Chain A
Amino acid sequence: MKSKLTYLIIASVMLIINACSKDNGDISYDSRSGQGGSMARFAIKGNYLYVVDNQSLNVLDISNLDDPQFIDKIEIGFGIETIFPFKDNLFLGAQDGMYIYDITNPESPSQTSVYEHITSCDPVVVNDSLAFVTLRNGGSCQTGFTEDQLDIIDISDLDYPINLVSHEMTEPYGLGLDSIILFICHGEEGLGIYDVSNIYSLKIVDFKTNISAYDVIPYNKNLLVVGETGFYQYDYSNLNNITLISQILIGE
């Protein structure tokens, strides 16, 4: 009996520690600043604001929030579209690939590597070892060659990103990652929720077809979704029953 109780206490302590470390572990944004979606061109990391435009990465010092200072413009290429900060790195989604920049020295980001792919539009989200990149043709991203797809890339060695697998995807736009759950916006087709615990065989957890989805932000089991039809919030604490909790439709 005593041992059972001890076990219980240890287990709950571990659970608490685990919960805390998980909370602190999500460092794609810091608490003083907020969290953007995968389509963002602005990212705050510590005392710096990084802004990508079509060709370059701009660095602004915001240590004095009220008085931002422009520090540097780093020319990168062409068709830079998105920025995703993770730990000491910035992952830039560009039309010709995913660029990884080291910001250990925050004022002068340096290029670590580039994962090249066929021209398309490609936001990116990452965790410690994997990058998820959606490739989409059409609109201003047309090339006519690639299939719309999701590339899953091994980034455990940032110097050598390696594509592990590609999955065909319908019109993928923004995406969001929470642990093993990947949310993918499929434009007018809706919102796909995938279990990526086995990256070689994605499992569809749910698919919301009655909305148009462009970008998402997962936070505390609350999913923010924006699309041409409006703004939606889903509760995904129970993956078997992902429920719409509110919406603000276009025109409202």
Chain B
Amino acid sequence: MRKMKTINLFIALLFVSIFSACVISDEEIEVEGLKPIYISKTEAYNVASQAAIPITVPGKIYRYHNFIFINEKGKGIHIIDNTTPSAPLKIAFINIPGNYDMAVSGTVLYADNFTDIIALDLTDPTNITILKRIPNVMSATNSYYPENYTGYFECVDTTQGYVVGWEEAVLIDPKCNL
């Protein structure tokens, strides 16, 4: 009896799905896929020093005299005073959205801020200032599509800002797929 019910339900569902598929195909496709999570350009350009924070997702490292810089993937840079290697001291965190790389010369730190390269004055690490921004140096291929993914996704609209991630969503008539 219970089995019968299940079969009925299954048949009913099958009809519904066939029916709805027909209806939708006449108008627009509705599928599950991924859509980009954006960060606005205003937020993306919010580069500033803040108090030291815990390291959570470390990326690359860079050494300059007694300082060590550790990238926090996509978030910014931890500045560490390593005058005493047995007791390294986190002195500040520089918030740089979309950052993965860095290099230092003199008192200037060069870093990527999404596709831009910025030059920061490090004279006072706890209060850095932007000296210059060079827009669109880096190509952003990786952020135009979700990595290691096959299926539909919502095309990236660069006017909405930079892509910081992807989330599952029901997409209507997606024009992009992998």
Contact = CB atoms under 8 A, between A and B. Distances in A.
Contacts of B119: 65-68
Interface in A215-244: 215, 217, 219, 222, 224, 226-228, 230-231, 233, 235
Contacts of B107: 65
Given A67-B132, A68-B117, A215-B60, A248 B88 contact: yes
Interface stretch (A49-57, A110-118, A127-135): A49-57
Interface in B113-138: 117, 119, 121, 131-132, 134, 137-138
A53 B139 contact: yes
Interface in B130-178: 131-132, 134, 137-139, 141-142, 147-148
B100 interface: yes
11 contacts: A33-B106, A40-B101, A49-B110, A58-B137, A65-B119, A66-B119, A66-B131, A67-B132, A214-B58, A226-B60, A248-B88
Contacts of A41: 100-101, 112
B110 A54 contact: no
Given A42-B112, A219-B63, A235-B85, 10 more contacts: A32-B106, A33-B104, A34-B64, A34-B105, A37-B62, A60-B117, A65-B106, A233-B88, A246-B88, A250-B58
A217 B88 contact: no
A231 B58 contact: yes
Contacts of A70: 117, 134, 137
Contact of A65 (B80, B85, B105): B105
Contacts, number: 150
Interface in A76-120: none
B3 interface: no
Interface of B: 54-65, 67-68, 70, 80, 82, 85-88, 90, 100-108, 110, 112, 117, 119, 121, 131-132, 134, 137-139, 141-142, 147-148
Contact of B54 (A35, A58, A233, A251): A251
A226 B63 contact: no
A35 B64 CA distance: 6
Interface centre among A36, A56, A67 (most CB of B within 10 A): A36
Contacts of A32: 105-106
A20 interface: no
A228 B54 contact: no
A222 B85 contact: yes
Contact of A40 (B62, B80, B86, B90): B62
The 3 closest A-B pairs by CB, nearest first: A34-B64, A42-B103, A33-B105
Nearest to A36: B62
B139 A224 contact: no
Interface string A12-37: 00000000000000000000111111
A233 B63 contact: no
A135 B58 CA distance: 22
A157 interface: no
Nearest to B148: A140
Contact of A217 (B61, B132, B139): B61
B68 A224 contact: yes
A251 B67 CA distance: 20
A250 B103 contact: no
Contacts of A224: 61, 63, 68
A20 B110 CA distance: 30
A251 B110 contact: no
A248 B55 contact: yes
Given A32-B106, A42-B110, A66 B61 contact: no
A226 B138 contact: no
Contacts of B63: 34-36, 217, 219, 224
